[in-house]
Amino acid sequence: MLVEVRPTSRLRGDKPLDIAASLEPVIRGVCDSTLDLSRLRVVCDWIQYRANFREVVEVRPVVAATTTAHGVAHAAVHGDQQVEIAVDLRRSSTVSLYEVMTVAIARHQNHADDDRLFIESWGAASRSRIWEFNRLYWKALDLWEAATGQMYESTLPGGASDARNPDAVSDLVREMFTWWDELEARNALPEELYVVELGVGNGSQAKAWLDAFIAVEAEQGRDYYRRLHYLMCDYSPHVLEMARSAVAAHAQHVSSLVLDATRPTTALAFLKYKVFLVYISNFYDNLPSDEVARIDGHIYVVETRAYLSAADAAGIAADHSVQVGALPMLIDKLIALGPALVAEAMPAHFADVNHAVDFWRRVWDATRLAERYAPLAGLDLYEIAPGVTGDLLRPHLESGGDIRMHVSNGALASFVDTLPLLHPYGMLVNHDLFVTDTTRYRNGFLGPGKYDGSVVNWINGSLLAHIGRRMGFDVAFEPFRHRAGTSIVTMTAQVRD
């Protein structure tokens, strides 16, 4: 039996975690069970997100692989399969761990899931329903904010996006002016100077950047603003509209584009090799991600299945005049139509829009994810982003011992499709939550968690850097310079060679 305690930093210091007290009921619980202890893994995390998708104790089957004519496939689930028991140490003292452990093991061994209402089938995490909720949040942000009375930016660490930190913005503009001066001296500066922002939020960062641009131009006596085209890109027309009003003073130099930021070239192909700056902030962490794991030398993808506890489902169903069994249908309608339309379409269940938003928030709050490990038929067959095979995960997964890490599929897709836009002198600048060393996955929980109505994951920066380098870019990380104590890291990518 393997017991892995990941949050090692919490075992020392002023208030060390009493790991013995946490582990005692866990060990007792598994020893009292009939699980094959020789094939058992117990993994202890510290889930820092107050709102998350995990129970205090969860049993995760490791699905065995069988060989077929086409490679590797799932074996039939059987009773003596390898399992992993996951424990959230942060909440371990809030429950009777032995009792919770016993119930979780019994549920697994008896295939007794009747205390859960599943709202989707098993699948890779990036395809989970939680990402549909995430998209709904951004589409109907105004309704969510009205219901909570809180603007989304206030949910960010520090209460504001670092992208509009005035010192950071001015430094970046000065750096761009240096490249442009050099190109201008060689008569190689294009007449039109493009800057692209992906994920524009409320437009405050665009405004900060454009204001700084004018200030630096005046300071340095240049004439670049006249040639500047700033493209604000987002998949939400509502967000873009808000952002446009924020940059009204720069309207002659700003265009807004609705696009899928995981495939920017679908709308921006005309800018291939022409963009001098791609500017991104707090965006990649909000894009779908799978997780992969290496366990005993075998590679697995983490499959998830969203559910509501039976008690939560019953409460929500009662308040919305629906049978518990019909709740998944109601959730489907909410996601497909959004709260405003679903309230109109289904008045029997929703008295008004506010009632629909209440339904949405309660379901979101109650949503949890069951997990299992499914074998991968071959890393080369696992497409982690369009045109990028999982073979690029190999150095990370083979870096020594077992590991579980994010694939950051949405971020990767966006990154890989954005780099071709960059001018040979161009740069991508991204402020976000990056894991810059793969070993971090061995001692920390890095998502998913819930931020308000959205999903947040740390981004596998090591993987992005690896893939960026394979595409001919130098990718660098440094802690965000302009705010002390922040977890935000600045990633830059520039053409190498």
Partner 1 sequence: MTDTFGRGIRLHDLHDLPYLPTSVVGSYSVPEWLGRLKNDYYQNRLSWQHLSDICDVAIKAALKDQELAGIDVVSDGELRRDNDIDYLLARIPGVRVANSNKAYFYDYYDTSVAEPLPTADLVPLGLAEDFTFTRAHTSQPIKFSFTGPFSLSRRIRTEAYTDSGDLVKALATVLNAEARRLAAAGATLLQIDEPVLAGYPDDVEAAVEAINIVTEGVDVTWGLHVCYGNRHARPSWEGHYDFLFPAVLGANIDQLILEFARKGYGDLQLIKKYGWDRDVGLGVIDVKSDDIETAQLVATRIRRAIDVVDPARLIINPDCGLRHLSSNVARAKLRAMVEGAAAVRSEFPNTRPGPA
Binding segment (CB under 8 A) for partner 1, from list 59-67, 108-116, 409-417, 464-472: 464-472
Q: Work out how close the CB of 380 gets to partner 1 at its nearest, in angstroms, rounded to a whole number.
A: 7
**What is the nearest approach in angstroms of partner 1 to the Cβ of residue 223?**
22
Number of residues that bind partner 1 (CB under 8 A): 16
How many angstroms separate the Cα of 421 from the Cα of each of 187, 191, 198, 229?
21, 17, 12, 14
CB of 175 to partner 1, least distance (A): 21
Closest CA to 164 of 113, 115, 200: 200
Question: Could you say whether residue 497 binds partner 1 (CB under 8 A)?
Answer: yes
Please select the residue that binds partner 1; options are 255, 469, 476, 487, rule is CB under 8 A: 469
Site for partner 1 in 232-291 (CB under 8 A): 273
Judge contact between 3 and 40, C-beta under 8 A: no
- Smallest separation, CB 497 to partner 1 (Å): 6
Residues in Cβ contact with 313 at an 8 Å cutoff, skipping those fewer than 6 apart? 117, 324, 327, 366
Q: x/- site string to partner 1, residues 5 to 44, per CB under 8 A?
A: ----------------------------------------
How far is residue 393's CA from residue 292's CA, in Å, rounded to a whole number? 9
Asked whether position 470 contacts partner 1 by CB under 8 A, the answer is yes
Distance between CA atoms of residues 428 and 443, nearest Å: 29
21 burial level (CB within 10 Å; 0-12, 13-18, 19+): exposed
**Residues 338/147, Cβ–Cβ less than 8 Å:** no
- Nearest CA to 282 out of 416, 148, 451 is that of 451
Coil, strand or helix at 206: helix
**DSSP conformation letters of 96-128:** -HHHHHHHHHHHHHHT--TTEEE-S--EEGGGS
Q: How far is the CB of 472 from partner 1 (least distance, A)?
A: 3
Burial class of 85 by CB neighbour count within 10 A (0 to 12, 13 to 18, 19+): buried
User: CB 461 → partner 1: shortest distance, Å?
Assistant: 17
Single out the residue of 472, 476, 478, 487 in contact with partner 1 (rule: CB under 8 A).
472
Sequence length of the chain is: 497
Q: What is the dihedral of CA 351, 357, 361, 362, to 10 degrees?
A: 10
Could you please report the per-residue DSSP string of 464-497? HHHHHHHTTEEEEEEE-TTSTT---EEEEEEE--
CA 288, chain centre distance (Å) = 5
- The answer to whether residue 391 forms part of the interface with partner 1 (CB under 8 A) is yes
- Which residue lies nearer to partner 1 by CB, 426 or 448? 426
Nearest CB to partner 1, comparing residues 123 and 420:
420
Choices 67-75, 102-110, 307-315, 387-395 (CB under 8 A): range interacting with partner 1: 387-395
Q: Which of 252, 424, 484, 485 binds partner 1 (CB under 8 A)?
A: 424
Please report, in angstroms and rounded to a whole number, the separation of the first and last CA atoms in the chain. 49
If the CB atoms of residues 39 and 263 are measured against partner 1, the closer one turns out to be 263
Out of 389, 399, 486, 494, the only residue in the binding site for partner 1 (CB under 8 A) is 389
Stretch that binds partner 1, among 2-10, 155-163, 390-398, 430-438 (CB under 8 A): 390-398
Q: Which stretch, 45-53, 130-138, 316-324, 391-399, contacts partner 1 (CB under 8 A)?
A: 391-399
Residue with Cβ nearer partner 1 (79 or 395): 395
183-222 residues near partner 1, rule: CB under 8 A: 188
The answer to whether residue 487 forms part of the interface with partner 1 (CB under 8 A) is no
- The distance of closest approach from Cβ of residue 419 to partner 1 in the complex, given in angstroms and rounded to an integer, is 8
Strand partners, 124: 303
Q: Are strands 454-456 and 449-451 parallel, antiparallel or unpaired?
A: antiparallel
CB 163 within 8 A of CB 281: yes
Report the C-alpha gap between 26 and 92 in whole angstroms.
10
CB of 303 to partner 1, least distance (A): 25
Written as six digits, the tokens of 48 are: 């820092």
Question: Of 3 and 471, which CB lies nearer to partner 1 in the complex structure?
Answer: 471
Residues 342-381 that bind partner 1 (CB under 8 A): 380
Residue 495 within binding range of partner 1, rule CB under 8 A? yes
- Binding span for partner 1 by CB under 8 A among 97-105, 211-219, 399-407, 463-471: 463-471
Candidates 59-67, 228-236, 278-286, 467-475 — which segment interacts with partner 1 by CB under 8 A? 467-475
Least distance to partner 1, CB of residue 495, Å: 7
CB nearer partner 1, residue 21 or residue 269:
269
Site residues for partner 1 per CB under 8 A? 188, 273, 380, 389, 391, 394-395, 420, 424, 469-473, 495, 497
